[in-house]
Amino acid sequence: MKLGLFIYSLSGGGAERQASYILDYCVKNNIDVHLILMNTLIKYELPEGLPIHYIEKSDGFENGILKALKIPYLAYKYSKLLKKLEITHSVSLLTRPNFINIIASKLTKHPFKIITNELAFPTLQYSYKGFQSNFNKTLIKLLYKKSDIVIGNSKGNAEDLIENFKVPSSIMRVVHNPIDLAKIDSIEPIDSFFDDEKFNIITLGRLDIGKNHIMLIEAIHQLQNPLVRLYIFGVGDMQDQLEQLIEKLNISDQVFLMGFDPNPYKYLKAANLFIFGSNHEGFPNVVLEAMACGLPILTTNCQSGPSEIMELSSPKEDIMITDYGILVPIKNTDLMTKGIGYFVNNNTFIEACKTNGQRRIKDFEKNNILKEYLDIIKTTA
């Protein structure tokens, strides 16, 4: 088996971190693997000597229509590269690389297995108005079923692909996201960063509409508790909008935009609570990472991911208390505020969540999950 792993870039994000884990596992297990990118940004450590190839070196802020128009050309270039490298298994992560991977198979006589990875919940991920959402939904429905295997990272997004995008259940597999527990355990917290007199909340994620940082900022304002602090780690196109909202609400001494840090664990380990406001997910790595760092979790109960991680049995339109933290309905600022208040006033609950989370996170240990992932790929041989 000669494996090509294809993703847009290795910028900060859960899919990109997962790609770095797969690459490292392959190299350590003597699997011949090549990394193939469309952008030069690399923010994760890669194995020494790993072959890296580019089918283009694009601007990360390209127009969505231009990205769509380039897909056939990039698929042609990708097909030529796969033939040149004699790749037997082409593994793609994220939507546009998945499209290119599948179309490339039609543009060459070189045989290779197509393994696509869907890490979001497409029905909701592309529920927004506009060309890009409609385009992606249409191509997912037309193309994903042509894969040899489609790997989802949760039961929720697998069901979405089967029920709403015509992916045959016979080619659908579920493998949860892996967590590098040994690496996380080795990192020391940055204890001097937070004010011990405050209740310090942290979140990680791209600054885009889907992650709904607006709700988190509004919840901090609504709580009216000057001891609460929110630290937002991430970059994205909503940076200016969020800065303006923080200034408008006059909470610049409570909410801080921290940018991207490739080692968020040192901050997670020193905080009091992890918060997550996303409207839709596949299986959010950041929730796992926060749990691995010993944090209780306050998250939206988006349709896929958090309820599986936190083993929620009965969803309801209120705060939902579990052994690992609290879930709240999506887009509900009032209940997110209520959830924050519950943690602020219940230290015993916080300690119980930390203890329970350390037990639960072992189910997602990296090596076991990566072995399961590669075993699935090998079944296509």
Question: Strand ranges (DSSP E) for the chain?
Answer: 2-6, 32-37, 52-54, 89-93, 113-118, 149-152, 172-174, 199-204, 228-233, 255-259, 273-276, 297-300, 320-321, 325-328
First-residue to last-residue Cα distance in the chain: 8
Q: Pick from 283, 288, 337: which is nearest to 305 by CA?
A: 283
**R_g of the chain computed on alpha carbons:** 21
- How far apart are alpha carbons 219 and 201 in whole angstroms? 12
Phi, psi of 194 (to 5 degrees): -90, 155
Amino acid in the structure at residue 121: F
The two beta strands, 320-321 and 325-328, are antiparallel
Judged on CB neighbours under 10 Å (0-12, 13-18, 19+), 156 is buried
**Residue 101, token pair as written in the block:** 């991977």
The two beta strands, 199-204 and 228-233, are parallel
Q: Is the dihedral of CA 230, 364, 179, 89 positive or negative?
A: negative
- How far apart are alpha carbons 121 and 188 in whole angstroms? 34
- How far apart are alpha carbons 249 and 261 in whole angstroms? 26
pTM: 0.80
> CA torsion, points 178, 182, 183, 187, in degrees to nearest 10?
130
- How far apart are alpha carbons 314 and 211 in whole angstroms? 24
- How far apart are alpha carbons 2 and 34 in whole angstroms? 8
- Is the separation of the CB atoms in 131 and 43 below 8 Å? no
- pLDDT tens, the chain, 381 aa long: 999 999 999 987 778 989 999 999 999 999 999 999 999 999 888 999 999 999 999 987 888 899 999 999 999 999 999 999 999 999 999 999 999 999 999 999 999 999 999 988 899 888 888 898 999 999 999 999 999 999 999 888 999 999 999 999 999 999 998 998 998 999 999 989 999 999 999 999 999 999 999 999 999 999 999 999 999 999 999 999 999 999 999 999 999 999 988 889 999 999 999 999 999 888 888 999 999 999 999 999 988 889 999 999 889 999 999 999 999 999 999 999 999 999 999 999 999 999 999 999 999 999 999 999 999 999 987
Q: How many other CB atoms sit within 10 Å of the CB of residue 260? A: 16
- How far apart are alpha carbons 54 and 35 in whole angstroms? 9
- Is the separation of the CB atoms in 230 and 343 below 8 Å? no
pLDDT of residue 64: 85
pLDDT of residue 280: 87
Query: What domains sit in the chain, N to C, each tagged with a CATH number?
Result: 2-178+365-378 (3.40.50.2000), 182-364 (3.40.50.2000)
pLDDT of residue 125: 83
Amino acid in the structure at residue 252: S
- How far apart are alpha carbons 150 and 289 in whole angstroms? 25
